[in-house]
Amino acid sequence: MTLHAFWGQSWGNGRRFAPVYLEFFPQMALTDTACKNAKCDPAKPRTRFADAGGLYLEVVSTGGKHWYWKYRFGGKEKRIALGAYPGVPLAKARRDRDAARDVLKAGSDPVQAKKEAKEAHVRAAGNTFELLARQWHTGWKDAHSERHADYVLRRLELDAFPVIGNMPIRDVTAHDLVRMARKIEARGARDIAQRVWQSCGQVFEYAATVVDEAGEQMVSRNPSKDLRPSVALKPRKKTHYARVESKEMPELLRKIEAYAGGPATRLAMKLMALTFVRTGELIGARWDEFDLEAEEWRIPAERMKMKTPHIVPLSKQALEVLAAIHELRGLSGLLFQGERDHEKPMSNGTILGALKRMGYAGRMTGHGFRGVASTILHELGHRHDIIELQLAHQERDEVSAAYNFATYLPQRRKMMQQWADHLDQLRAGAKILPFKAA
């Protein structure tokens, strides 16, 4: 067997083309002995041994031997894998070649036909990623809010199932998850790509507890753990949320008080300043999360960034704002309803838009209240660990989460009331005295 290279040959129009390597196969049909003795050329990563009618045995440098049939479809040269030798002997490889040729004669692409047949078999066997994912979701959703459960399923349906849904779950690799995640990232939704990756990981963990008809685990390992999504995706540029300086807060607070836009937006900004929760946590707030007698706002884990419950002690000023919001409420369970659909929360950009109209475009965001609160509370002498707990910055594991979310609650109550009193003083322009820690 020889290998020839043609360099810079010319076509009739005078153009030259790139180097082309053509491998010539011997014209004699293979025998069982030839297949058994076939070895890869040491100088090449793979060597092909031709049989007849486009069938050939490919031997790779590592010793593996695989059958392929070469054909043309739609004007393009293609090949179909027919199995590994000696598991697929010469006689069966020829029969499979003939069967694929019949599919081609019928006008179909043998590769596509094989793929569709495999998918149909997998669906019938009930072990595709999509089927296992739906089984997982049916049990998982009972422990989560209906809204969050619907969101997770919708993300799987839109982003995961089109890429890996029809694959046997055993065959899904980290590379397939990377393909899926990068497709989501390509439309500018990097955060969603990470969330879908995490949901897929939970599906694999569930599948490890399920056995097939033969009594074997659906999966023995979780490919989502082979690679972190942060490695597969483009690095995230660190975001520094715009926020005013501490000395600018009095003017901002007075402008919020005099805001001429919708009353719900004005009250939302006031509550955000008093509680310094994240924007998503504020606009998604529901009345059943508030215990007004205990003067607490308990945000459930599924609505928190760290996925653990969070307590916001309510100052007297915050309770007054809640009373004003309650007078505006409709039939929805949400504090801040959307303008058109009252079953959906206020838009994420409502507060940002209000701040822009007040002259703070590029200078302040809803998230900026958190940074300002952290800075001022530190300046007033409050303890760093208590401030961080109230900001819900600490990551907490499952064992300690139930304890930590209520840690230092008496101290946090005192701090939140002093924070609200401090905002009143800032708004009124009174002289501020630093807090003296005990």
**Residues with active-site annotation:** 278, 305, 367, 370, 393, 403
In DSSP terms, which residues pair with 194 in a beta bridge?
none
Helices (H) and strands (E) in the chain, counts: 17, 9
Query: Nearest 10 degrees: CA dihedral of 159, 164, 170, 172?
Result: -80
Q: How does DSSP assign 230-257, residue by residue?
A: HHHSPPPPPP------GGGHHHHHHHHH
Q: Are 129 and 167 in contact (CB under 8 A)?
A: yes
Count other Cβ atoms within 10 Å, centred on residue 380: 18
- 92: helix, strand or coil: helix
Give first-to-last CA distance, the chain, whole Å: 89
Helical packing angle, 174-185 and 190-207, nearest 10°: 150
| Amino acid in the structure at residue 436 | K
Q: Provide the 8-state DSSP code for 238.
A: P
Q: Provide the 8-state DSSP code for 143.
A: G
Q: Using CA of residue 297, residue 302, residue 305, residue 309, what is the dihedral sign?
A: positive
Count other Cβ atoms within 10 Å, centred on residue 171: 15
